[in-house]
Structure 1
Amino acid sequence: MKPTFSRIIPLLSALLTFLAASIAAAQISDEDRRRAAAAYDEGVRAFNEDDFQTAARAFETAYRYAPSGIALIQAMNMHLELDNELRAANIALRLVELHGEEGLDLDHAEEVIREAETKFHRVNTKCDAECTITAAGAIQFHSSFFLRPGRSLAVIAEFPGGRKTERITPQAGGSSNLEFIAPPPPEPKVVTTATGETVTVSGAAADSGSEKKGLHRAVFFTTLGVAVAAGAGAIYPGIATNQKKSDYDAAIEAGDRDAAAELASDGKRLQRVTNGLAFSAAGVGVVALVTALFTDWSGGKSDEAASKKPKLNAAVGRDMMSLTVEGRF
């Protein structure tokens, strides 16, 4: 199923076609179109360097920003170069079913699908409402997809109001047509507001309103455990640092300057480790203290009482951590 280079659309022509197709889609923002073009350029560069893995990822990124059949053709071809036949076949399905009217040459994609139908298990899904399909531990981005033959697995349709599940056993050359009906919405519930009014709300809103406002006690105990562990971890290097100091004094008295220099270096390193662990323990201890202030210890207070508590919001990113508090004090 690997394509020859004669089957790969000339990249310059493909880029122009891609840009024209993305411009034709009025719902695509200018920013997304620029990102798509940049990703496509990256795919072209990677292809010219025979870096097919990067090229495949870049062409798929371009498609996510500005859906166009030409980007899927290039991504499919890159995966075939990598012998990723299953991924290529799933892209081919999306290409033929979603972009068959764009005037592209889809003969190769249809050939990929025909061959995949003999090797893999094809699944065609249909939902009566908006849903997200998950199978084999991954979200499927198209209603039709291939799975590797193997053991029984669940195909899950996630709806706003719940989920539906079907089990299948993928077989080479097999297929499954699955239809999912959205579960009924939750029953309305009668709740009492903070002002004493009785109102009827949807089940989802009622459940949301009854959630506890404080942090779960497990958060506090986990943070406290980390603080204790960090403090305990600082004990050993602290003892080792004192031992190095005694050895250093002995070396100085003996006149062994080389040994003294090495011991001094080791002592400084251990001191830095000890200080780091001590400061970490102190920092986590402060977080544990703050967490304790906002932990829900009641286990069953009313919504009105809980709503008066301040709220603690934490966010952690690659290079940052933030802690914000909101409420009345």
Structure 2
Amino acid sequence: MKRLARIASQFFFAVALIVGRAAAEGERSPATLFDEARAAFAQKDFVTAARKFEDAYREAPRGQSIYNAALSWDPASEPARAADDYALALEDPSLPSSAQTRARERLASLERSLLTLRVDAATPASVSVAHAEGRQLPATVHLPRGRHELVVHFADGRLVRQEIEAGAGEHVSIRVTPPATPAAAAPEPPPRTAPSPAEPPKANGSAGRTLGFVALGTSVAAAGGALVLGSLGLDARDRFEDSRRLDDDARSQAVGLRTWANVAWGAAAVCAVTGGVLLLTALRPPSPKIALGVFGAAGTF
């Protein structure tokens, strides 16, 4: 266990050493950047010197670094960049007085041939124009004479583009407002269609047909019963006649059977008529339905 712990501690120590060395090599301190910029300036590589002085200023915002960047842009024939850096240097009160005087005089001289543009916005935004990329507003940018495209990016993603005509010695202030958010279009209502004509009630027609057939069946049964009762009544009458009209039972039976036979014939007739009416009503075609207007009002003719 002790050997395993010793190996693990050595491993983590080696990893930390490697990571620390890589970080030290990957990151350059403002002092290192400043020394590299001075070396480039001594070799008259003014553009490299200016960029390294600006990198040093971003790492540690000191007026001397950005002042040296302006001094480097001057011989590199970049008057607009030099003017921007002179203006930044003058914002640092720790800049030596001799450097302040030199920066103020040189900035005034450069601005006579440049447009001094002050850009601001009502909400958080950044501006990009000419050599200035993504500067947070408010910002002051110096532009050479000519036409330039001003692009303002707002924090919520909205974008404003504007053409700028730069004139020598001019001072212009612009306040940019974000474009209005377009209102969401209301969804279109679904198309209105007339409802389909109502179908005839099938349930009632089916019930009418059923009742009609039941009535006809009952009529047939009643007619059959009437025939049977009538035949029995005739037999009872014959027995009464054979008894020389003396058999009262036969006579009573004949009268009763004839009465019930008549009732059955009447019931058969009623059921036949009822069944016929129900079937005719159920089998009659439905009245036509029509639709009127876009609201689908229906009427029966």
What TM-score results when the alignment is normalised by the length of structure 1? 0.42
Q: TM-score, normalised by structure 2?
A: 0.46
